[in-house]
Amino acid sequence: MILGLCVVRGEMKVILKYSRCLAVCHTVLPEGDGSSDKITYQAASPDEAALVTAAKNFGFFFYRRTPTSIMVREANTEKMGSVHDVTYEILNVLEFNSTRKRQSVVCRCPSGRLILYCKGADTVIYERLAGGNSDIKKITREHLEQFGSSGLRTLCLAYKELSSELYEKWNEKFIQAKSSLRDREKRLDEVAELIENDLVLIGCTAIEDKLQEGVPMCIETLSRAGIKIWVLTGDKMETAINIAYACNLINNAMKQFIISSETDPIREAEDRGDPVEIARVIKDSVKQELDRYLEEAQELLRSPYGPKLSLIIDGKCLMYALDLTLRVSLLKLSLNCSSVVCCRVSPLQKAQVTSLVKKGARKITLSIGDGANDVSMIQAAHVGVGISGLEGMQAVMASDFAIAQFRFLTELLLVHGRWSYLRLCKVITYFFYKNLTFTLTQFWFTFHTGFSGQRYYDDWFQSLYNVIFTALPVIIVGLFDKDVSASISKRYPELYKAGIRNTFFTWKVVAIWAFFSIYQSLIIYYFTTASSRNAHNSSGKIFGLWDVSTMSFTCIVLTVNIRLLMACNSLTRWHHISAWGSILAWFLFIFVYSGIMTPRDRQENEYFVIYVLMSTFYFYFALLLIPIVSLMGDFLYQGIQRLIFPYDYQIVQEIHRHDPEETRRQLLEIGHNLTPDEAASFAVARLPRETSKHTGFAFDSPGFESFFASQAGVFAPHKPWDVVRRASAKSKHRTSKN
Amino acid sequence: MEMDGASSSASGGAAQAILLTSRKPRVFYRFTQQNLPACRPALTPTLIITIFLLTGVVFLPVGLVCLRASESVEELVLRYDTECIPEIYRSNKVAYIKDVSISKKCKLNIKLRNYMKAPVYVYYELDNYYQNHRRYIKSRSDQQLLHGLQQKDISSCKSMESSNGLPIVPCGLISWSLFNDTFAFDVKGGKLNVNRTNISWKSDRDHKFSKNVYPFNFQNDSLIGGGKLDPSIPLSEHEDLIVWMRVSALPKFRKLYGVIEEDLDAGELLTVHLANNYNTYNSGGKKKLVLTTSNWLGSKNNFLGLSYIATGGCNILLAILFALIHVKFPRPHYDTSHLQWNKRGSAR
Taking 50 as the threshold, does the pLDDT of residue B7 lie above it? no
In this prediction, residues A191-218 reach a mean pLDDT of: 85
pLDDT at A633: 94
Instruction: Give the pLDDT band (50/70/90) at residue A255.
Output: confident
pLDDT at A492: 92
Partners of residue B295 in chain A, C-beta under 8 Å? 538
Question: Phi and psi for A389 in degrees, rounded to 5?
Answer: -145, -145
pLDDT in tens, B140-199: 999 999 998 988 888 888 888 888 889 999 999 999 999 999 999 998 878 999 999 999
| Residue scoring higher pLDDT (B287 or A603) | B287
pLDDT at A710: 42
Residue of B208, B311, B336 lying closest to A604 (CB–CB): B208
Partners of residue B309 in chain A, C-beta under 8 Å? none
Among A246-250, A418-422, A627-631, A694-698, the minimum mean pLDDT is found in A694-698
**A607–B299 C-beta distance less than 8 A:** no
pLDDT at B75: 92
Question: Phi and psi for B19 in degrees, rounded to 5?
Answer: -85, -5
**A713–B43 C-beta distance less than 8 A:** no
Taking 80 as the threshold, does the pLDDT of residue B302 lie above it? yes
**B40–A480 C-beta distance less than 8 A:** no
Q: Edge to edge, what strands does the sheet with B105-111 contain? A: B105-111, B269-275, B182-187, B190-192
Partners of residue A522 in chain B, C-beta under 8 Å? none
Predicted complex ipTM: 0.91
In this prediction, residues B230-242 reach a mean pLDDT of: 93
Q: State which H helix or E strand residue A313 sits in.
A: strand A309-314
Mean pLDDT of chain B: 86
pLDDT at B289: 95
Q: A 582-611 residues with CB below 8 A of B?
A: 597, 600-604, 607-608, 611
In this prediction, residues A21-48 reach a mean pLDDT of: 82
Taking 70 as the threshold, does the pLDDT of residue A670 lie above it? no
pLDDT at B23: 62
pLDDT at A730: 34
Who contacts A459 (Cβ-Cβ below 8 Å, separation ≥6)?
none
Give whole-number Cα distances, B63 to A532, A624, A727, B105, B304, in Å.
16, 12, 76, 44, 7
Provide the shortest C-alpha distance from residue A120 to chain B (in Å): 40
Report the share of chain A in percent with pLDDT over 70: 87
DSSP secondary structure code for residue A129 in this structure: B
Residue of A338, A625, A686 lying closest to B304 (CB–CB): A625
Report the share of chain A in percent with pLDDT over 90: 36
Q: A 535-574 residues with CB below 8 A of B?
A: 535-545, 547-549, 568-574
Q: Pick from A31-45, A99-113, A502-516, B186-200 the range whose average pLDDT is largest.
A: A502-516
pLDDT at A680: 56
Instruction: Give the pLDDT band (50/70/90) at residue A599.
Output: confident
pLDDT at A708: 40
Give whole-number Cα distances, A301 to A44, A336, A338, A361, A378, in Å.
46, 8, 11, 19, 32
pLDDT at A3: 36
Among A286-295, A307-316, B36-45, the minimum mean pLDDT is found in B36-45
pLDDT at B17: 45
Beta bridge pairs of residue A115 = A107, A161
pLDDT in tens, A136-171: 888 888 888 888 777 677 889 999 999 989 999 999
Who contacts A703 (Cβ-Cβ below 8 Å, separation ≥6)?
A718, A722
Partners of residue A411 in chain B, C-beta under 8 Å? 9
Taking 60 as the threshold, does the pLDDT of residue B343 lie above it? yes
Q: Which of A26, A735, A728, A47 is nearest to A345 (CA)?
A: A735
Taking 80 as the threshold, does the pLDDT of residue B137 lie above it? yes
Instruction: Give the pLDDT band (50/70/90) at residue A1.
Output: very low
Taking 50 as the threshold, does the pLDDT of residue A671 lie above it? no
| Residue scoring higher pLDDT (A152 or A656) | A656
pLDDT in tens, B252-261: 999 999 999 9
Mean pLDDT of chain A: 82
pLDDT at A718: 38
pLDDT in tens, B188-224: 878 999 999 999 999 999 999 999 999 999 988 888 8
**A415–B7 C-beta distance less than 8 A:** yes
pLDDT in tens, A75-107: 876 666 778 888 999 998 888 876 788 889 999
Q: Which of A461, A427, A470 is nearest to A442 (CA)?
A: A461
Helix runs in A196-274, H state only: 215-224, 237-246, 264-272
**A541–B201 C-beta distance less than 8 A:** yes
**B121–A533 C-beta distance less than 8 A:** no
Instruction: Give the pLDDT band (50/70/90) at residue A301.
Output: confident
pLDDT at A256: 87
In this prediction, residues A512-529 reach a mean pLDDT of: 96
Give the nearest chain A residue to B34 (CA atoms).
A480
Instruction: Give the pLDDT band (50/70/90) at residue A709.
Output: very low
Listing DSSP states for B147-169 in one string gives: HGGG----GGGTTSSEETTEE-B
By CB atoms closer than 10 A (0-12, 13-18, 19+), residue A139 is middle
In this prediction, residues A681-701 reach a mean pLDDT of: 34
In this prediction, residues B39-51 reach a mean pLDDT of: 88
**B7–A487 C-beta distance less than 8 A:** yes
For an interface test with A, give the residue of B1, B23, B34 to mutate (most A CBs within 10 A): B34
Provide the shortest C-alpha distance from residue A642 to chain B (in Å): 7
Q: Which of B139, B14, B270, B17 is nearest to A679 (CA)?
A: B14
Instruction: Give the pLDDT band (50/70/90) at residue B334.
Output: low
**B249–A548 C-beta distance less than 8 A:** yes
Provide the shortest C-alpha distance from residue A464 to chain B (in Å): 22
| Residue scoring higher pLDDT (B85 or A133) | B85
In this prediction, residues A341-368 reach a mean pLDDT of: 91
Alpha-carbon distance B30 to B5, whole Å? 10
